[in-house]
Structure 1
Amino acid sequence: MEIVHCVENLARGGLERTVLDLVAAQREAGHRCRVLCLYEPGQLASELVAQGVQVEACRKGAGLDVAGMRRMRASLRRSPGAVLHTHNAAAHYHAVAAGWGLPLGCVVNTRHGMGMANAGSRKEWLYRRSMPLTDHVVGVCEAARERFAAQGVRPRGELLAIPNGIRLERFAMATAQARAALAAELGWPHDSRIIGTVGRLHPVKDQPRLLHALHVLRAQVPQAVLAVVGDGQMRAALQDEAGRLGLQDAVRFLGDRDDVPRLLAGMEAFALPSLSEGYSVALLEACATGLPIVATDVGGNREIVHDGRNGRLVPSADTGALASALAEVLQDRELAERMGKAGREWIVAEGSFRTMASRYQRLYAGKHAAGAATMEAA
């Protein structure tokens, strides 16, 4: 089977990492895969190229770029009968438009988040207009599937949920030795209590809330420090806010990194203060590392973080609740250890990328059940 994945680009992020892992699993199963980028290739494209996977960039410009659309159509024309698997809204409706009239196989779209708050936006209107030419739409969590159904997303086949998966072999359990090594690397005392967060620095991730929670937390746990992994438009503002709160020595902004598993292994707890989430790859990676998690109760987070078992769920935009939950997992080491082990056990059972890939394979082949929860890994 030939599978063409279409993305906006392969910048560093959870969606893009999921696509890379899905391509790897599909190639292991003997399928031919390539990736078509609507815009530029992005930082992760080189990883696929090094593995022998073709990556094409349409380099579409702003607005109606006829040349970019022609490049996309020419690429799709080379794969008659292929599965077209698009990721998120813009990549989908552009690919469907470019492929109009071509002999494509199954057309599947995955929405990797919860969708836009404004379902009446032009982007979402164009997306819904593409549904008559879409076989299946996949939300990455049940909460997302329900939201898209309520917004009128109706493909000609099914709207269902298939949770993301990750490559578990990349992640080792966090250890005291790794924490000491990371503290030394980042210039902190050896007894620092390292909280980590991973994600793009964007208002929806609400990292300023985490800085304020850290400020409150340090009154109870003076050794608490924060490692922020990721980059984005909020970086300068976050650095300024850390300075204003007197946290310049307690926070490290590490930028985009390709060694996230190593960094996670040196942390003691993981925090995700987002205002909105789909099915967070960062949370999956924290589970794989055996970290207790404190996350906001938004989107699909509760489908990963089971409150009291592998972490704590707190209301969004609540600094006090975030600080209190972090204090709990840092002050009760036995509780933190139990939560970390429970998270690792859960993801081994439910969250591997091979399980995700087998569910998509059954969807492509038309053998899916009514929902992802009923599908067994191949």
Structure 2
Amino acid sequence: MNITHFVENLNRGGLERMVLDLVKEQHRQGHKVQVVCLFERGSLAGELDSLGIPVAACHKRTGFDLRALGRARQLLAAHHTEVLHTHNAVAHYQAVLASAGMGIRQVVNTRHGMGAQRKPGRREWLFRRALKATDAVVAVCEAARVDAVRRGIAPAAKTCVVPNGIVLDGFDIASDIMHERLTRLIRVPRGTRIIGSVGRLNWAKDQMSLIRAFRIVRHTRPDTALVLVGDGELRETLRAAAFDEGVAGCVHFLGDRNDVRDLLQGFDLFALSSVTEGYSMALLEACAAGLPIVATDVGGNAEIVHDGTTGHLVPPCDPSALAAAILDLLHATQRASTLGLAARAWVEAHGSMEAMAARYGRLYFGDMEHAS
């Protein structure tokens, strides 16, 4: 098939990583794939360049940009696009507008989160208008699908669930060697227990609650460090919060990294403090690293973290509950190890890239019943 993936950009993030890995898998299967970026190409585009997979940017400006739409239309036509797969709301309605009247066989949109925007009104209105030219709206977890239908974002008949998947080949579980390497990187004593988290530093991930929880953890376990991987608009705010909580010297901000897999293998446990979440790529990767997990019970997190089996679920915005769950895993090391191995077994069975690509393949042929 001739497949076009339409995204805002390919900057570093969970959505973008999922798109890259799916594109690579579809390319490996022999499909003709391209990626069209509504804005800039993004920092991850080079990974596709090296495989000969086209990545083009429309360089959209603020407001209605007819030139960007024309560029998008040219790219869709030149690729002889049969399947248009868009990602999230803005990319979707822009792509639908650009492709009007082209007769594309299948138009699929994936909503990668729960759609929790602070001011979603106009965006969701435009998204709903574009649904007339949309064959399927994919949610990445059942919780997100139910929520989208409940809020009238998409009709139930056009929705289905395709959980995210990750590439497991070469993804090793956490080890003492990688742990020691990480302790050297962040310059903490050997034997320090490392609590790690991966995600953009923004309001949705609520690292503020995690820092407050870590202050409680440090009071009982001074042999701990908190590592935050990722960057975002709240970086300096969170640095200030760590200082205010008295833990600035043991909270390590590593920024955006291209070695997240290696870093995960150095953690003792993984913590995710989100107030909203779709189907978290970070949680899937934590499972792949065989890490015990503490996560907030929001969105699709409970579809990945099974409380008491692969980790602990806690309420959002509750630093005390988050700290108690982390301390439980730090104290019960054997049980924590058992939870981590169960997480790895679960992701091997349910969270692979191959399984996700197969589901999308069925959906591209209009088989919604068997895509989920």
TM-score range, shorter chain: over 0.9
Counterpart residue number, 1:252: 252
Structure 2 matches for 1:1-378, cutoff 5 A?
1-117=1-117, 121-154=121-154, 158-369=158-369, 372=372
So what's the TM-score if we normalise by structure 1? 0.96
Cα offset for 1:369? 2.1
Partner SS, residue 203 of structure 1: coil
- Show CA shifts across 1:68-119 (max 9, x none): 1111111112233520000000000000001001121200000000013568
Matched letter for residue 44 of structure 1: L
- Mapped to 1, the partners of 2:120 and 2:14 lie a distance apart of 26
- Show CA shifts across 1:228-269 (max 9, x none): 000000001111111122212211100000000000000000
Matched letter for residue 91 of structure 1: A
- Mapped to 2, the partners of 1:242 and 1:156 lie a distance apart of 44
- Mapped to 2, the partners of 1:25 and 1:273 lie a distance apart of 31
- Contact kept, 8 Å, 1:80 with 1:103, in 2: the verdict is no
- Contact kept, 8 Å, 1:80 with 1:105, in 2: the verdict is no
- Show CA shifts across 1:22-73 (max 9, x none): 0111111110100000000111011111111100100000011111111111
- Contact kept, 8 Å, 2:58 with 2:71, in 1: the verdict is yes
Q: Percent of pairs identical after alignment? A: 49
- Mapped to 2, the partners of 1:105 and 1:261 lie a distance apart of 38
- Mapped to 2, the partners of 1:121 and 1:20 lie a distance apart of 29
Matched letter for residue 50 of structure 1: S
Pair 356,21 (structure 1): closer, same or farther in 2 beyond 3 Å: same
Matched letter for residue 354 of structure 2: R
- Mapped to 2, the partners of 1:193 and 1:254 lie a distance apart of 17
- Size of the alignment, in residue pairs? 372
- Show CA shifts across 1:110-162 (max 9, x none): 00000135686000000000011000000000000001111223469630000
Structure 1, unmatched stretches of 5+, are: 373-378
- Contact kept, 8 Å, 1:139 with 1:160, in 2: the verdict is yes
Pair 55,371 (structure 1): closer, same or farther in 2 beyond 3 Å: closer
Partner SS, residue 213 of structure 1: helix
- Mapped to 1, the partners of 2:346 and 2:142 lie a distance apart of 17
- Mapped to 2, the partners of 1:348 and 1:65 lie a distance apart of 44
- Mapped to 1, the partners of 2:181 and 2:364 lie a distance apart of 45
